[in-house]
Amino acid sequence: MRVTVRLMGSFRDSLNEGERFRAIELREGSCVIDALRTIGVGDDEPWNASIEGQMVEAEYVLQDGDALFVFTPLAGGALSPHD
Amino acid sequence: MRGVAGKILRADLTARKITVDQPDERFYRTYLGGAGFVSYFLLKEVPRGIDAFDPRNKLIFAIGPLTGLPLPGASRSCVGTKSPLTDGYSKSEAGGFVPMALKKAAYDAVIVEGRADAPVYLLVTDQRVEIRDASHLWGKTVLEARDAIAAETGEKQIRTSGIGPAGENLVRFASVMNDAKDAHGRGGAGAVMGSKNLKAIAVAGKWNPDVADPAKIHELAVMMNKGFYDNPLFSKGLHDIGTGAEAAMVAGNEVGNLPSHNFAVNSFDGVKKITAHAAMAAYGKGMEGCAACGVRCKKVMEIDAPWHVNKRTSGAEYESLGALGTVCAVDDLERVLKACDLANQYGMDTISLGVTIGFGMECFESGILTPGDTGGVDLRFGNAEAMLQMVEMITRRQGIGDVLAEGTKRAAARLGRGAEALAMHVKGVEIPMHEPRVKPGLGVVYAVEAHGADHCAGMHDTFYTRESPSFERLRGMGATVPLPASDLSDDKMRSQKAAHLWNLFLDSTVCCMFVPWDLDQLVEGVRAVTGWIYTAHEALKLGERIAALGRVFNLREGITIAQDSLPKRMFGPTRRGALRNGGLDEETFRRAVSAFYGIMGWDMATGVPTRGTLLDLGIGWAADELPASV
């Protein structure tokens, strides 16, 4: 299946210059964490993700055509203070 | 005692009398500083049931044991008072250079009481304390007054903590400004200062504390600065742009965390126009920081005519960009930045100001307010000029501005006709730019926290959904397991307690959450300064003590658990956007509030700290302050 991934914040470093989205191919039944590993986001990096505005967790099962939005975790107005 | 001045200054403005207390070491170890001092003095000394503007109310400025040392994030002060917004306990912190200057003046706190018969300011140095005439400063902006005081005192290193016209006019969300851009914003302490006819406290000095282990302090400073620069989450984010980064605002808008249209929509097309990146790209002059801090998270901006945004007062943060931008559905960057600048110059909390204007806009669009009420101002969402007009009218209490200057709770009660449903506050304090429907655990803390909705009092649920070094730090303070943002289980409440206590300890040291301290490091800092064998146990117990004292203060003032809640709007969907299909489940939320009470050692049904809890915290005396009815 095909999933589009949009990245914001420091995750844009995973994309090529000028690239805003990346379409990736995943096996049926793949989860959010599989998509992140595919584009090179490390397991130990903190992240938030959403699909159509709804927050999703690592184990959320993706569907063909999903547009996944990945961003640095929302905290106190900064990109990522530790609390 | 090491590390502290050992002196608390008292200024009775009615009697024009200055005295100095010298509390014993046990007092310092029990309450430490900052929020700890504030909580103690408010409950001990503010008479039950008085109005916030009664001369008997106290205004407490407190710093902590680490203040004034060359450590990042350690020049912060806490101001506490009985709040004119909540009629209850209030505290608020700010950074800048004033806190360091107060330590150098050799005082750990200043307690102001009474009311001067004419405007005054207080000059506090290590050589002299004077109550000085401020008649010529009344009506001046924060910056104008600050510069005038600097010129007339002849003190080269003078720093001021003061109010602008909003505080003078008793705008209930007036702030106390450290110099001209660091705000003790929440709770309306600036209005209490205005009610006392006190324009400013001006501080300077050359005193240095005797620190128990200077080498350790140096080691901690090096470690903190290295830790900061080695961590791209800090060094790339806070250091480069501060709060309000495009990623934070756009992502927040997309998932509904960033409120828009007075929390009714939470989806705003113009968000990219008013981010910190947009502002700095157009008008940025660089970044600056508080005393001795390498984080340097504060934006400096300047706009020429016709806006005249001053680089000494500018520097809109995420909260300000949200409240005066998205909450009012305004995407006019220059006018949003001008409103932020005016809020600093007039001395008003940008969160309460923006949310109150957003409330006025929704009242207008709902027909609760008419053009006749607003003096002809077309107070619709998105009208940037109307938003700016409200800033002026609220400051001067002109027309509808006089109603809005009361804050949303009182304004709604006065307007009636359903306005209460549009008032986005907890206990009278307007809700910050973090949606409880996205961060429900933080929403519980908003509801329960003694001083009203405070985004710096708990854990941001979205940040702790997975294992991470940040979560590991919190786990060591009692957090449980990473949980989905939407979770409101007992485990989430235990984690919220851990974060809450940590934040209250931070506010007592008084240190900044934008420096990556962990609990043991900050405890080490207290040890190195004081020479005590201070422990993490004591630090977290201090957090519990402060929370209990604030709660007892509120119960004494008649604030019951009925006010430990959120506006009804939070239990339903937004009109569109990510939250269009949902809101918090009210019963689940109430259960979480009750669990939080219990986990804090308070009665799960009544929210009253038990006598056993108060005894355990060494504040058994506080039980005598509880009303017989509880």
Predicted confidence at residue A81, as pLDDT, reads 39
- Compute the nearest-CA separation of A81 from chain B (Å): 6
Report yes or no on B435 lying in a domain: no
Q: From chain A, pick out residues whose CB is under 8 angstroms from the CB of B246.
A: 8
Structure tokens belonging to residue B461: 């649920």
**Residue finishing a domain among B401, B430, B459:** B430
Per the prediction, chain B carries an average pLDDT of: 96
For residue B233, give the nearest of A53, A76, A79 by CB distance. A79
**Closest alpha carbon within chain B to A83:** B459
- Compute the nearest-CA separation of B160 from chain A (Å): 27
Rounded Cα gap, residues B187 and B189, in angstroms: 6
> Bridge-partner residues for B110, per DSSP?
B9, B61
DSSP tag of A82: -
Report yes or no on B214 lying in a domain: no
Q: Do B137 and B283 belong together in one domain?
A: no
DSSP B179-192: TTTEEE-TT-HHHH
Report yes or no on B261 lying in a domain: yes
Q: From chain A, pick out residues whose CB is under 8 angstroms from the CB of B503.
A: 83
Predicted confidence at residue A76, as pLDDT, reads 59
**Residue finishing a domain among B143, B177, B204:** B204
Q: Do B418 and B533 belong together in one domain?
A: no
State the burial class of residue B286 (Cβ atoms within 10 Å of its Cβ: 0-12, 13-18, 19+): exposed
Query: B499, A83: Cβ pair inside 8 Å?
Result: yes
For residue A77, give the nearest of B248, B466, B578 by CB distance. B248
Q: From chain B, pick out residues whose CB is under 8 angstroms from the CB of A47.
A: 466
pLDDT digits (tens, 9 = 90+) for B356-365: 999 999 999 9
Predicted confidence at residue B336, as pLDDT, reads 98
Q: Do B618 and B556 belong together in one domain?
A: yes
> Bridge-partner residues for B66, per DSSP?
none
B268 touches chain A (CB under 8 A): no
**Confidence category of residue B471, pLDDT binned at 50, 70, 90:** confident
Total domain count, chain B = 3
Tell me how far CA of residue B619 lies from CA of B108, B496, B505, in angstroms: 22, 23, 17
**Closest alpha carbon within chain A to B500:** A83
Query: B470, A74: Cβ pair inside 8 Å?
Result: no
Q: Do B163 and B271 belong together in one domain?
A: no
- Compute the nearest-CA separation of B241 from chain A (Å): 9
Q: Is residue B499 a contact partner of residue A83, using CB atoms and an 8 Å limit?
A: yes
Output phi, psi for B101, to 5 deg.
-65, -35
CB proximity list for A9: less than 8 A, separation 6 or greater: A71, A72, A79, A80, B237, B245, B247, B248, B251
Report yes or no on A9 lying in a domain: yes
pLDDT digits (tens, 9 = 90+) for B92-110: 999 999 999 999 999 999 9
pLDDT digits (tens, 9 = 90+) for B589-606: 999 999 999 999 999 999
Predicted confidence pLDDT, tens digits, chain A (83 residues) = 999 999 987 787 777 877 878 999 999 999 999 999 999 887 777 889 999 999 999 999 999 999 999 988 877 544 443 33
Domain extent at residue A36: 2-71
Structure tokens belonging to residue B294: 């390498």
Query: B578, A52: Cβ pair inside 8 Å?
Result: yes
Report yes or no on B572 lying in a domain: yes
Torsion sign over Cα B104, B105, B106, B112: negative
For residue B513, give the nearest of A55, A80, A83 by CB distance. A83
B236 touches chain A (CB under 8 A): yes
Q: Do B166 and B244 belong together in one domain?
A: no
**Cis-peptide into B306, omega within 30 deg:** yes
User: At A67, which CATH number?
Assistant: 3.10.20.30
Report yes or no on A80 lying in a domain: no
CB proximity list for B418: less than 8 A, separation 6 or greater: B366, B368
**Closest alpha carbon within chain B to A8:** B247
Question: In terms of DSSP H, where are the helices of B350-454?
Answer: 350-365, 384-396, 400-404, 407-415, 440-448
Rounded Cα gap, residues B65 and B506, in angstroms: 11
Least confident of B323-337, B405-419, B468-482, B560-574: B468-482
Q: Do B420 and B519 belong together in one domain?
A: no
Q: Do B126 and B77 belong together in one domain?
A: yes
Output phi, psi for A71, to 5 deg.
-145, 160
Query: A79, B470: Cβ pair inside 8 Å?
Result: no
- Compute the nearest-CA separation of A4 from chain B (Å): 16
Report yes or no on A38 lying in a domain: yes
**B137: three-class secondary structure by DSSP:** helix
For residue A76, give the nearest of B251, B460, B484 by CB distance. B460
Nearest to B80 by CA among B608, B627, B550: B550
A47 touches chain B (CB under 8 A): yes
Mean pLDDT, residues B319-346? 98
Report yes or no on B220 lying in a domain: no
Domain extent at residue B252: 239-430
Neighbour count for residue B233 (Cβ, 10 Å): 24
Q: How many A×B Cβ pairs under 8 Å?
A: 138
**Residue finishing a domain among B184, B204, B224:** B204
A78 touches chain B (CB under 8 A): yes
pLDDT value at B207 more than 70:
yes
Q: Do B426 and B448 belong together in one domain?
A: no
Report yes or no on A82 lying in a domain: no
Predicted confidence at residue B232, as pLDDT, reads 67
Predicted confidence at residue B233, as pLDDT, reads 65
Report yes or no on A79 lying in a domain: no
Reported as type and span, the H/E element at residue B160 is: strand B159-162
pLDDT value at B554 more than 50:
yes
Q: Is residue B347 a contact partner of residue B92, using CB atoms and an 8 Å limit?
A: no
Report yes or no on A83 lying in a domain: no
For β-strands B120-125 and B198-204, DSSP reports them as parallel
Structure tokens belonging to residue B538: 């004591």
Report yes or no on B225 lying in a domain: no
Q: Do B357 and B448 belong together in one domain?
A: no
Total domain count, chain A = 1
Q: Do B559 and B452 belong together in one domain?
A: yes
For residue B248, give the nearest of A44, A54, A78 by CB distance. A78
Nearest to B511 by CA among B65, B50, B58: B65
A14 touches chain B (CB under 8 A): no
Report yes or no on A52 lying in a domain: yes
pLDDT digits (tens, 9 = 90+) for B4-38: 999 999 999 999 999 999 999 999 999 999 999 99
Rounded to the nearest angstrom, the gap between the alpha carbon of residue B492 and the centroid of all alpha carbons in its chain is: 24
User: At B505, which CATH number?
Assistant: 1.10.599.10
Rounded Cα gap, residues A2 and A14, in angstroms: 19
pLDDT digits (tens, 9 = 90+) for B51-106: 999 999 999 999 999 999 999 999 999 999 999 999 999 999 999 999 999 999 99
pLDDT digits (tens, 9 = 90+) for B158-181: 999 999 999 999 999 999 999 999
Of B228 and B157, which is predicted with more confidence?
B157
Q: Do B194 and B68 belong together in one domain?
A: yes
DSSP B524-578: HHHHHHH-S---HHHHHHHHHHHHHHHHHHHHHTT--GGGSS--GGGGS--SSST
Output phi, psi for B312, to 5 deg.
-85, -15
DSSP B107-121: -SEEEEES--SS-EE
Q: From chain A, pick out residues whose CB is under 8 angstroms from the CB of B470.
A: 46, 82-83
Nearest to B42 by CA among B26, B22, B58: B58
Q: What angle do CA A52, A53, A54 make, to 5 degrees?
A: 95
Q: Is residue B297 a contact partner of residue B238, using CB atoms and an 8 Å limit?
A: yes
**Cis-peptide into B510, omega within 30 deg:** yes
User: At B190, which CATH number?
Assistant: 3.60.9.10
- Compute the nearest-CA separation of A47 from chain B (Å): 8
> Bridge-partner residues for B130, per DSSP?
B123
Report yes or no on B213 lying in a domain: no
Q: Do B310 and B252 belong together in one domain?
A: yes
CB proximity list for B611: less than 8 A, separation 6 or greater: B620, B623
Q: From chain A, pick out residues whose CB is under 8 angstroms from the CB of B254.
A: 50, 53, 69
**B79: three-class secondary structure by DSSP:** strand
**Closest alpha carbon within chain A to B457:** A83
Report yes or no on B546 lying in a domain: yes
Query: B319, A77: Cβ pair inside 8 Å?
Result: yes
Structure tokens belonging to residue B138: 């009344």
Report yes or no on A6 lying in a domain: yes
For β-strands B120-125 and B284-288, DSSP reports them as unpaired
